[in-house]
Amino acid sequence: MITEIFIINLLLILSVAWFLGFVFSRFGMPAILGELMAGLVLGPALFDIVHMSSQLELLAELGVFFVMFYAGIEMDPRELLEHIWPSLAAALGGFVLPFVLGFLAVRLFGGTVFQSLFVGMGLSVTAIAVQAVILQNLQIHRTDVGHVIMGAAIADDIFSLITLSVLLGIAERGTIVVTETIFLLGKVALFFGFTILVGEFLVPLFTKKLTDDGGKAFTFALIAALVMAFLAEKAGLHLVIGAFLAGQFVRREIMDEKVYNLISDRFFSISYGFLTPIFFATLGFHFEFEWNLSFLVFVVVITLVAIAGKLFGCGLGARLAGLSTRESAIVGVGMNGRGAVELVVASVVINLSNELLAKGTIAEPLLTSNQFSALICMAFVTTVMTPVLLKWSVVKSCSQSAGAAFCAIWREAGGGK
């Protein structure tokens, strides 16, 4: 429902996000940092002017949905497949190492085995939507490294889904339910198999004849995105993966160039011009901090472990898969952004924890309030630092190897400005 207070909140978010985004851009930094800062300024961290509501939450989720579809249409699916092995290696290294380090860190601070496992799980996640925005802003989404990062983010999401499902099953029933895990893997495999068949054989039959009479090309693209998002959810994956894969269907080489450009421009305007600033601003609303020495030390350790785990885990995986040291370092930096994914994972864990505590199944919570707050702080810090460090690493890398194909594509797209 559109109310007066909702309109005022929307006006404040868009105005402050636009202004701070402009300021950050003038200093050569990504605009999303300004949008995140808007959330800090307007949210409970500073002035506590705007509060999260169901309407803002819906717009934020739509922002993720639209930006992932736009990322899909801007990236070549064949390039993603060509880089599948480096992507899987980077994803695996970037999932296992933060998980292990996070587990050990929480145990060191006196956490239970379950608490250590779930915090480790939170550190292992990469926010695919955040990565898509960062890659787009830095104009490296069409490079080899960009395809590896996006492929790794998708694989990371699947690893996270399977691991979370197994851990929740152990916490609830005390054992691994093998049949449920196999069923989950089967659904994921069917989803990707169906996606490939539809994308290669069915969708081109429509897109070749697609026109934009009455804006119907945009409607077709939206229908494709919604269908794939629904199927992704039914397969147990996040809707953003479905939206991204739907964008892969609506690609330049299978439709009229003019129609493609119209669809691309509309999705870009709606996502980056309207919904994405709301998404990043609302991320800032979740930032909470306690001025307590033990908590501050815990947050610092968890954040450092999260950063190091992704940087070395993803970087080593990419290096072993054949990428150069320079490219592997960029992948490691690029995979560090977390965003709201940790909040979703942690919320699921806390809800189950409350149920099990009420039943007397467990004596200790699966995740404490301090651990949850530490995950929020870690997610915010990594989201802020990733675009800055990624841009720095790209600029430094290309200043040393100006002839590299990666740098040529980046400069041609305007990333070197």
Using the 8-state DSSP alphabet, how is residue 204 labeled?
A: H
Report which listed range, 77-91, 96-110, 132-146, 391-405, is most confident: 96-110
417 belongs to a structural domain? no
What's the domain count of the chain? 1
Place of tokens 């997610």: 379
Cα 283 to Cα 141: distance, rounded to the nearest angstrom: 23
Mean per-residue pLDDT, 309-338: 89
179 belongs to a structural domain? yes
Mean per-residue pLDDT, 194-198: 79
Cα 383 to Cα 377: distance, rounded to the nearest angstrom: 10
Query: Using 50, 70 and 90 to split pLDDT, how confident is the model at 245?
Result: confident
Alpha-carbon Rg of the chain, whole angstroms?
21
Tokens read off for 331: 């992948």
Q: Please report the DSSP string for 355-400 in residue order.
A: HHHHHTS-SS-SS-HHHHHHHHHHHHHHHHHHHHHHHHHHHHHHHH
Average model confidence (pLDDT) for the chain? 81
Q: Please report the DSSP string for 298-344 in residue order.
A: HHHHHHHHHHHHHHHHHHHHHHHTT--HHHHHHHHHHTT--TTHHHH
Q: Please report the DSSP string for 272-297 in residue order.
A: IIIIHHHHHHHHHHT------HHHHH
Q: Is 404 exposed, middle or buried (0-12, 13-18, 19+ CB in 10 A)?
A: middle
Residue 256: give its domain's CATH number. 1.20.1530.20
Mean per-residue pLDDT, 291-296: 83
Tokens read off for 52: 């999260």
Q: Give the count of beta carbons closer than 10 Å to the beta carbon of residue 112.
A: 17
CA 245 remoteness from chain centre? 15
Is the pLDDT assigned to residue 396 strictly greater than 70?
yes
Is the pLDDT assigned to residue 215 strictly greater than 90?
no
Give the range of the structural domain holding residue 370, as residue numbers without chain letter: 4-412
In b/e form, how buried is each residue of 235-264, taking b as 16+ CB within 10 angstroms? bbbbbbbbbbbbbbbbbeebbbeebbebbb
384 belongs to a structural domain? yes
Is the pLDDT assigned to residue 284 strictly greater than 70?
yes
91 belongs to a structural domain? yes
253 belongs to a structural domain? yes
Cα 307 to Cα 128: distance, rounded to the nearest angstrom: 16
Q: Which amino acid is residue 257, in one-letter code?
A: E
Q: Is 32 helix (H, G, I), strand (E, B) or coil?
A: helix
Q: 142-156, 203-217, 278-292, 401-415: lowest mean pLDDT where?
A: 401-415
Cα 133 to Cα 147: distance, rounded to the nearest angstrom: 13
Between CA 331 and CA 274, with CA 70 as vertex, the angle to 5 degrees is 110
Predicted confidence at residue 288, as pLDDT, reads 65
14-46, pLDDT tens digit by residue?
Answer: 999 999 989 988 877 778 788 888 988 998 878
Cα 145 to Cα 86: distance, rounded to the nearest angstrom: 10
Looking at per-residue pLDDT, the higher value among 147 and 403 belongs to: 147
Percent of the residues in the chain that have a pLDDT greater than 90, as a whole number: 20
- With beta carbons less than 8 A apart as the criterion, state whether 281 and 17 touch: yes
- With beta carbons less than 8 A apart as the criterion, state whether 224 and 202 touch: no
Q: What region does 370 belong to: left with phi over 0, alpha with psi -120 to 50, or beta?
A: alpha
